[in-house]
Amino acid sequence: MGSQPVQFSIPTVDLSTYLRDPEAEQANEIVSAIRDACITSGFFQITGHGISTELQDAVFKSAEVVFKLPVEEKIKLQSATDGRGYEVIGAQTLEVGMKADLNESYYVGPEVAVKESYRNFQYPNVWPSTDLISESEFKEPVLEYREQMCALANILMRCLAKGLGLDQHFFDGFCKDPIANVRLLHYPPQPNLDDPKQLGAGAHTDFGAITLLMQDDMGGLQVRKQDTAEWIDVKPNRDAYVVNIGDMMQKWTKGEYNSNVHRVINRSGKERYSVPFFFDGNLDYVLRPLDGSEDVEYTVEEFMKERFQKAYGTK
């Protein structure tokens, strides 16, 4: 027991027992399966998460509706600030040396009061005119979804804390009033399946604490198995969230939890939709090394600014 090295895996874990009673004996098995995933692949899938199919369908529908708008309407939904509203196809090239990523996306954060100036990462949302898309078709389901995903992320952070041998409430302060954004993503089919330089999303790691991804049935997400340099397909499962560890959590845990490289190639011949939810914690939270070592402390805001600067030279 415990002496076998943990194998690379992307397990599917049913969270329902944990949700019913986090103190139950079986809940410990869930915590332990999630820990094994976090220390190897950095990826796992969860079913039994409690988010309704109706709400998920409504969010996928919102994505379809917004991306079907004419290009001249979509570009009006771009924001002057990063991380909100529409982003055109090819706006990002996540992997150096590759063609621009073949996706378009739309970012939604929490609603904020109108002000003269905004703090980093706390910018106002951009909404399509209600002449184009009604609030009940877009704004309402996406905001409701964001709320529910925050609650689910909070629960997962408790599992992650337990998996590190910490009190389950250890991350509660980090989770309060978090920077947490929904990204609606649309990947057109690859025009040329033999072009190795064209990816839907180039190889990258996520920046924040954890990402919870809802994906359709098309497939295309791949995770890097570092020891063999293989790309492992993440099996699409409409009922599951793909959860992965981000760079902030990797650094915070001194590498115990793994922020792994992943990419997307839409080989399905059809449109692919996915909806990552990036959970990055409270901007003012001070990240202290979990092993109690005397490293410098830094806030979530400082970490995220530095990470964005490294990737895009902005902020």
Ligand X SMILES: O=C(O)CCC(=O)C(=O)O
The answer to whether 284 and 300 are in contact (CB under 8 A) is yes
Q: What is the largest CA-CA distance in the chain?
A: 62
Task: Give the DSSP letter of residue 78.
Answer: B
Residue 276 is a binding residue for ligand X (CB under 6 A): yes
50 Rama sector, left if φ>0, alpha if ψ -120 to 50, beta otherwise:
left
Q: What are the Cα distances from residue 191, in Å, to 128, 198, 201, 267?
A: 29, 9, 14, 9
Residue 104 is a binding residue for Fe ion (CB under 5 A): no
The sheet carrying 85-87 orders its strands as 12-14, 43-47, 241-245, 210-215, 272-281, 179-187, 104-108, 85-87
User: What's CA 52's distance to the chain center, in Å?
Assistant: 19
Closest contact distance (angstroms) between CB of 237 and ligand X is: 12
Closest contact distance (angstroms) between CB of 170 and ligand X is: 26
Residue 243 is a binding residue for ligand X (CB under 6 A): no
In b/e form, how buried is each residue of 139-166, taking b as 16+ CB within 10 angstroms? bebbbebbebbbebbbbbbbbbbbbbee
Residue nearest to Fe ion (CB): 206
Closest contact distance (angstroms) between CB of 267 and ligand X is: 13
Closest contact distance (angstroms) between CB of 264 and ligand X is: 5
Closer residue to Fe ion (CB): 36 or 206: 206
> What are φ and ψ of residue 233, in 5° steps?
-70, 135
Residue 224 is a binding residue for ligand X (CB under 6 A): no
The answer to whether 84 and 107 are in contact (CB under 8 A) is yes
Q: Which of 34, 46, 185, 199 touches ligand X (CB under 6 A)?
A: 185
Sequence-ordered list of residues with C-beta below 8 angstroms from that of 25, at least 6 positions apart, any chain: none
Question: Cβ of 207: how many Cβ atoms within 10 Å?
Answer: 19
C-alpha 50/C-alpha 48 separation (Å) is 6
Contact partner at residue 224 from ligand X, Fe ion, none, CB < 5 to 8 Å by partner kind: none
Residue 264 is a binding residue for ligand X (CB under 6 A): yes
Residue 206 is a binding residue for Fe ion (CB under 5 A): yes
Residue 221 is a binding residue for ligand X (CB under 6 A): yes
From 22-30, 186-194, 198-206, 296-304, give the range in contact with Fe ion by CB under 5 A: 198-206
Closest contact distance (angstroms) between CB of 297 and ligand X is: 27
From 44-52, 205-213, 263-271, 279-287, give the range in contact with Fe ion by CB under 5 A: 205-213
Contact partner at residue 215 from ligand X, Fe ion, none, CB < 5 to 8 Å by partner kind: ligand X
The answer to whether 198 and 93 are in contact (CB under 8 A) is no
Contact partner at residue 40 from ligand X, Fe ion, none, CB < 5 to 8 Å by partner kind: none
Contact partner at residue 221 from ligand X, Fe ion, none, CB < 5 to 8 Å by partner kind: ligand X
Closer residue to ligand X (CB): 218 or 300: 218
Number of residues that bind ligand X (CB under 6 A): 11
Query: Residue 224: what residue type?
Result: R
Closest contact distance (angstroms) between CB of 96 and Fe ion is: 16
Contact partner at residue 181 from ligand X, Fe ion, none, CB < 5 to 8 Å by partner kind: none
C-alpha 168/C-alpha 299 separation (Å) is 21
Residue 262 is a binding residue for ligand X (CB under 6 A): yes
Q: Helix 53-67 crosses helix 139-163 at what angle (to 10 degrees)? A: 120
Enumerate binding residues for ligand X (CB under 6 A).
183, 185, 201, 206, 213, 215, 221, 262, 264, 274, 276
Q: Which residues bind Fe ion (CB under 5 A)?
A: 206
